[in-house]
Amino acid sequence: MKNRYLLPGLMILIIAVVSSCEDKKFMTYTANVPVYMSFEELRKPIDISGPADILQPGKIYFKDEYVFINEFMEGVHIIDVSDPSSPEGIVYLQVPGNIDMAIKNNILYLDSYTDLVMIDISNPASPVELNRIEDILEYTLPPWDNDYPLAEIDDEKGVVTGWEIKEYTKEIQTNPYPFPVYWEYDGMRISDASSMGGGGGVPPSGTIYGVGGSMARFLTYDNYLYMLQTTNMLKVVDISNTDAPETVYEKYVGWGLETMFIYDHHMFLGANNGMYILSLEDPEEPYTKSVYSHITSCDPVVVSGDFAYVTLRSGTVCGGTADLLEVIDISDKFNPERIASFSMEEPYGLGISGSTLFVCQGEYGLNIYDASDPNTITSHEIAAFADIHAYDVIPINNSLFTVGEDGFYIYDYADLQTITLIGSIIVDAE
């Protein structure tokens, strides 16, 4: 069902109103007019090539000795990190509309606008496209110019890849002049997916799963792929048969869903207004145990032991005015309770390894804390790296994989007293 929003009168210039015997009326105004990619073009075989420059890094995923970095809305870089001091790009997958990813059994699952694409990465240096499930996803609209309304979107023309600011004429078929002017948006897409995300705890050695950063919205568990769809729905896809993945469950969870983290047979969903705890006792049909409410804000979450760590960021599409790190006692999954809150600069993704907490703070860099005492975390800073942009992290095997607007960084934290940058791939600002 389409939602209609009344436009501010000053934004619209009605150039002409034409009446006929059928009382048809038209308006012309300046708008974001969609640029389409046809479904035929979208569904061509994935272009698999040699390494490419990282230009706009997004989300991050780790499996075995490889890191997978999303090129926002464009594809995935496969990085060999077997030697962390010398990370090397080996393959680039050009996947239009890609934002999220997850792995199980050497199958890489990728969103491509409305479709789910499966890539065999048994040999990451030579990946093979296996399958594509069409029209299983609600895709993400690219960001638009908020100074202008959106023109109507014709889904039959394909997927929207961009916008042109230009005059747009629309037929109005209701109400005689003067009439209200609306723009239409179907409510099934997200305008700023780069600020949203989920991840999973560090997998045991030899696991068939990978591990995502705290900002992803895809995760695999058991025989299922979990996907956050729109901002309120959890979709469960049975992937036991890779030839025919099947949606088996869809659940309305709550408003403003952003991130996903799985730990100890539970799913923790970060949302604009809180954290949802879902049981995976029946992995096909997760059920909600409880909701921890917080101020409205963007909200990734990670979990270790009896504590969940949540960052809240202001000044975004999520709303909110505070920048915080919150610690929540989840020993009773039916009754989570906040036990501490700390001021931050611009918190984004975060990671936890034992009692060591890694917090990304955007342009303010990366901060590392001893979280042994959850009540005094920021009083026990281990290290700070203010010279990078930090968006999300994955701590694993004493290596910290960090991604931000300016590049990909690897830190060695085996000795917490001398955490060292040992490798990087820098974004070419030109």
Out of 15-29, 178-192, 267-281, pick the least confident: 178-192
Contact present, 108 and 122 (Cβ < 8 Å): no
* Per-residue model confidence (pLDDT) at position 173: 60
Average pLDDT, whole number, for the chain? 85
Q: Read off the pTM.
A: 0.85
Chosen domain end from 151, 170, 185: 185
Spatial separation of the C-alpha atoms in residues 6 and 398, rounded to whole Å: 53
pLDDT at 15 over 80: no
| 318 vs 260 pLDDT, higher one | 260
Q: Are residues 352 and 369 in the same domain?
A: yes
Spatial separation of the C-alpha atoms in residues 133 and 242, rounded to whole Å: 10
Query: What is the average pLDDT across 120-136?
Result: 96
Q: Are residues 256 and 275 in the same domain?
A: yes
Structure tokens at 221: 């568990």
Out of 157-161, 264-268, 269-273, pick the least confident: 269-273
Q: What is the DSSP letter of 41?
A: H
> Is residue 354, in this structure, part of any structural domain at all?
yes
Q: Are residues 170 and 310 in the same domain?
A: no
By C-alpha distance, which of 169, 153, 165, 145 is closest to 13?
169
16 phi and psi angles, rounded to 5 deg: -150, 145
Tell me: the pLDDT tens digits for 293-336?
865 556 789 999 999 999 988 755 544 567 899 999 999 999 99
Structure tokens at 154: 């014709």
Q: Are residues 171 and 309 in the same domain?
A: no
Tell me: the pLDDT tens digits for 323-380?
899 999 999 999 999 999 999 998 999 999 999 999 999 999 999 999 999 999 999 9
pLDDT at 187 over 50: no
The SS3 call for residue 42 is: helix
Chosen domain end from 185, 220, 247: 185
> Is residue 213, in this structure, part of any structural domain at all?
yes
Query: What is the average pLDDT across 274-287?
Result: 95
Q: Are residues 196 and 307 in the same domain?
A: yes
The tally of domains found in the chain comes to: 2
Residue 27 structural domain: 3-37+141-185
